[in-house]
């Protein structure tokens, strides 16, 4: 991987990182406001409405987004790329809109079959309209992503979130509840879709040919199975809690689960930025991939382990601090489900590694196995143990998924010293956790968090978690002119 290519990834990561961290911080504060304002019961209903949609969202995509990114990344350097990209762009747009309409209709139908109240059905219908708009946005965003124009998607996301926060705050202030929030989200999706479609016009519009759709769907379907299985795995517990447990448990569980997905933004930024570049390198310079794998995994673990340890230690105080005393019981769920963070960081990255090797069917099989386990365990455990059982099931499911990916990639990962790469961040996170647990419970939560972060940083420097090679790598990425030098080899591969 040349320094120029490395800078492309870094630029994509950096822009997304700055934009998404800023907006995620603002969104997180808004989520805290939403959770507090609605209360456990209404917030649980709001979360369940979103979960109902996730059960069918795979139909709106069928894997076309990840497949499209990979294909655009591979087509972009071909002599006839402009015409092929324009045709692919048009076909993706037409397919995504039609599939989204079908998915939205199924979502509303499922809500009616399960006896949801009229207000919930109205909310599901509004979500269906938003899903159709998002299908159009995602089609153009897929092409832009494959061209590594991440700034457009990041900018649209920031814009959308800002609109949603402003409109959402207005509807909550006026007492319009979760239905008003869904309407605010629809407004945000509409405006961001316009932004992305206008940006993607530079790619051009080709012919729409239904004859090309079936081959597209066949090629993307393994990706779609992955999307469906992941959506089912992440949201089935919420739907089941809403249908089988006392009112309020869905809200308690999702308040804790939201903290997990908020922390997942860091992993998602890196993986989304790496994916198109790695897809190209798998063809042009496959010998460079092991070094990138090692570096990416090490950085992901550096971020994930302190989140998991600190969240587990502080769960009992963190949940009521953020969401008020009505959510205190949710601390038990957070103490368990927070351990999915390092597993989720790892599984997301390893899933992309399998995909760039054209082994999407193996990814689909692994995700389906994990999801089948998730659904089975939830059906057994959740009706009896409620949201705590859902938290345990989530961690078990993600661990099984990681184990499958490691087995599938054993030949590629065998040369990497995974134990050594994991040992030092784990030791630093353990030291941080012991300190936070030792600090007096009377201390403010934020003060204990700050103390833990400070100790983790100090231990990280002492243990050499960031090496001189990392600093050279970061300095290289800041260069403004392309250099002929190569991305430095990760030292831990040869350790």
Position 324 scores a pLDDT of: 78
Is pLDDT above 90 for 484?
A: no
Position 442 scores a pLDDT of: 85
Burial category of 485 from C-beta neighbours within 10 Å (exposed 0-12, middle 13-18, buried 19 and up)? exposed
Is pLDDT above 80 for 487?
A: no
Residues of the chain with pLDDT > 70, as a percent, come to: 85
In tens, the pLDDT along 208-240 reads: 778 788 888 888 877 777 777 777 777 888 888
CA distance 134 to 60: 9
Burial category of 420 from C-beta neighbours within 10 Å (exposed 0-12, middle 13-18, buried 19 and up)? exposed
CA distance 304 to 343: 9
Q: Mean pLDDT: which of 13-27, 82-96, 421-435 is highest?
A: 421-435
DSSP string, 325-342: GGGGGGHHHHHHHTTHHH
Residue partners of 357: CB distance under 8 A and separation at least 6:
282
Contact by Cβ (8 Å): 178, 45 = yes
- Greater confidence (76 vs 91) lies with 91
Position 17 scores a pLDDT of: 55
Is pLDDT above 50 for 494?
A: no
Contact by Cβ (8 Å): 355, 408 = no
CA distance 63 to 325: 41
Position 354 scores a pLDDT of: 80
Mean predicted lDDT score pLDDT of the chain: 79
Position 196 confidence tier, pLDDT thresholds 50, 70, 90: confident
Angle between helices 360-408 and 340-356 (to 10 degrees): 120
Please, where are the H alpha helices in 174-288?
177-200, 213-244, 249-263, 265-284
Position 127 scores a pLDDT of: 87
Burial category of 389 from C-beta neighbours within 10 Å (exposed 0-12, middle 13-18, buried 19 and up)? buried
Q: Mean pLDDT: which of 19-33, 61-75, 235-249, 463-477 is highest?
A: 235-249
State the distance between the two ends of the chain, measured CA to CA, in whole angstroms: 21
- Span 32-50, average pLDDT: 85
Position 493 scores a pLDDT of: 35
Among candidate residues 296, 265, 299, the one with its CA nearest the CA of residue 278: 296
- Span 331-348, average pLDDT: 91
Length of the chain: 495
Residue with tokens 């193996």: 362
Contact by Cβ (8 Å): 348, 403 = no
- Greater confidence (218 vs 12) lies with 218
- Span 313-329, average pLDDT: 87
In tens, the pLDDT along 291-307 reads: 778 778 888 888 899 99
CA distance 55 to 393: 18
Residue partners of 347: CB distance under 8 A and separation at least 6:
398, 401, 402, 405
- Greater confidence (370 vs 419) lies with 370
Is pLDDT above 70 for 258?
A: yes
Q: What does the buried/exposed string (b/e) look like for 98-109 if buried means 16 or more CB atoms within 10 Å of the residue's CB? A: ebbbebbebbbe
Using H for helix, E for strand and C for coil, what is the string for 91-129? HHHHHHHHHHHHHHHHHHHHHHHCCCCHHHHHHHHHHHH
In tens, the pLDDT along 85-132 reads: 777 778 888 888 898 899 888 888 888 888 888 888 888 899 889 888
Position 353 scores a pLDDT of: 82
Among candidate residues 429, 461, 440, the one with its CA nearest the CA of residue 312: 429
Q: What does the buried/exposed string (b/e) look like for 369-382 if buried means 16 or more CB atoms within 10 Å of the residue's CB? A: ebbebbbebbeebb
Catalogue the E-assigned strands of 79-125: none
Say which range, 49-53, 205-209, 335-339, has the weakest mean pLDDT.
205-209
Among candidate residues 469, 467, 468, 487, the one with its CA nearest the CA of residue 477: 487
- Looking at the DSSP bridge assignments, the partners of residue 2 are 486
- Span 304-313, average pLDDT: 92
Contact by Cβ (8 Å): 156, 137 = yes
In tens, the pLDDT along 144-188 reads: 776 766 566 667 777 888 888 999 999 999 888 888 899 998 999
Residue partners of 419: CB distance under 8 A and separation at least 6:
none
Question: What does the block give as tokens for 364?
Answer: 């689909």
CA distance 159 to 187: 11
Position 475 confidence tier, pLDDT thresholds 50, 70, 90: low
Contact by Cβ (8 Å): 138, 97 = no
Is pLDDT above 80 for 391?
A: yes
């Amino acid at each position: 991987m040349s320094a120029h290519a490395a800078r492309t990834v870094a630029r994509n990561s950096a822009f997304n990182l700055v934009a998404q961290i800023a907006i995620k911080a603002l969104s997180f504060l808004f989520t805290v406001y939403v959770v507090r304002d609605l209360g456990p019961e209404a917030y649980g209903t709001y979360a369940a409405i979103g979960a109902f949609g996730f059960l069918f969202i795979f139909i709106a995509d069928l894997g076309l987004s990840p497949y499209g990114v990979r294909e655009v990344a591979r087509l972009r350097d071909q002599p006839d790329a402009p015409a092929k990209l324009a045709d692919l762009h048009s076909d993706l747009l037409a397919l995504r809109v039609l599939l989204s309409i079908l998915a939205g209709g199924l979502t509303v139908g499922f809500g009616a079959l399960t006896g949801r109240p009229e207000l919930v059905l109205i909310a599901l219908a509004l979500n269906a309209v938003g899903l159709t708009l998002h299908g159009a946005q995602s089609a153009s965003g897929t092409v832009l992503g494959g061209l590594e124009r991440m700034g457009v998607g990041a900018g649209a996301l920031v814009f959308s979130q800002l609109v949603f926060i402003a409109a959402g705050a207005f509807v909550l202030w006026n007492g319009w509840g979760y239905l008003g929030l869904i309407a605010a989200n629809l407004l945000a999706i509409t405006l961001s879709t316009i932004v992305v479609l206008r940006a993607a016009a530079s790619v051009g519009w080709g012919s729409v040919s239904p004859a090309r759709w079936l081959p597209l769907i066949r090629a993307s379907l393994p990706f779609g199975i992955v999307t469906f299985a992941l959506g089912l795995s992440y949201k089935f517990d919420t739907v089941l809690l809403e249908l089988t447990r006392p009112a309020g448990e869905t809200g308690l569980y999702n308040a804790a689960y939201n903290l997990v997905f908020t922390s997942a933004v860091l992993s998602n930024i890196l993986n989304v930025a790496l994916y198109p570049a790695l897809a190209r390198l798998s063809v042009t310079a496959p010998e460079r991939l092991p070094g990138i794998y090692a570096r990416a995994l090490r950085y992901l673990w550096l971020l994930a382990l302190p989140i998991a340890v600190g969240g587990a230690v502080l769960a009992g105080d963190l949940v009521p601090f953020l969401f008020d005393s009505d959510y205190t019981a949710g601390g038990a769920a957070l103490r368990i489900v927070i351990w999915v963070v390092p597993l989720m960081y790892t599984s997301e990255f390893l899933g992309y590694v399998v995909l760039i090797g054209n082994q999407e069917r193996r990814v689909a099989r692994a995700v389906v196995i994990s999801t089948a386990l998730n659904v089975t365990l939830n059906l057994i455990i959740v009706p009896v143990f409620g949201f705590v059982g859902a938290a345990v099931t989530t961690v078990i499911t993600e661990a099984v998924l990681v184990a499958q990916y490691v087995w599938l990639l054993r030949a590629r990962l065998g040369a990497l010293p995974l134990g050594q790469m994991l040992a030092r961040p784990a030791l630093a996170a353990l030291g941080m956790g012991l300190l936070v647990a030792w600090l007096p419970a009377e201390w403010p939560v934020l003060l204990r968090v700050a103390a833990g972060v400070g100790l983790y940083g100090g231990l990280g420097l002492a243990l050499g978690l960031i090496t001189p090679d990392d600093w050279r790598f970061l300095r290289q990425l800041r260069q403004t002119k392309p250099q002929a030098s190569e991305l430095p080899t990760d030292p831990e591969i040869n350790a």
